[in-house]
Amino acid sequence: MAVSTTKVLPKDRSAVPELFDGDTLGQRFSLHPQTLRRAVGRGELRAFKLGGAIRYRVDDVLAWMDSNALGKR
């Protein structure tokens, strides 16, 4: 049975969050992928398992990094 994306995805595709794997985010933000997986295990970061790989939303990673910043305002 095929799933219709018209009901799942908004018409404005820019509203759909981009998902990245741990290696890509690790390179982009100078993080080890294991650091991201540990944060998920502690419940500090959300992740999604899609296609056999764990994926993260950039917004979630940035919020997690912000919450762990030194010298919080």
* 13, 36, 43 from 33: Cα distances, Å: 27, 5, 16
The confidence score (pLDDT) of residue 61 equals: 93
pLDDT value, residue 68: 86
Query: 50 in a domain, yes or no?
Result: yes
pTM of the model: 0.71
pLDDT of residue 8: 58
Residue 58 has pLDDT above 80, yes or no: yes
Q: What are phi and psi of 55, to 5 degrees?
A: -125, 150
Phi and psi angles of residue 19, each rounded to the nearest 5 degrees, phi first: -115, 140
Residues 6+ apart with CB under 8 A from 40: 46, 47, 54
Strand ranges of the sheet holding 19-21, from the earlier edge strand across to the other edge: 19-21, 53-57, 48-50
Q: How many domains, the chain?
A: 1
Question: Which pLDDT value is given to residue 70?
Answer: 85
Indicate whether 11 belongs to any domain.
Answer: no
The answer to whether position 40 is within a domain reads yes
Tens of pLDDT, residue by residue over 30-40, are: 999 999 999 99
Q: Which domain holds residue 36?
A: 17-67
Residue 47 inside a domain? The answer is yes
Over residues 47-56, the pLDDT tens digits come to 999 888 899 9
Q: Is residue 12 part of a domain?
A: no
Residue 1 belongs to a domain: no
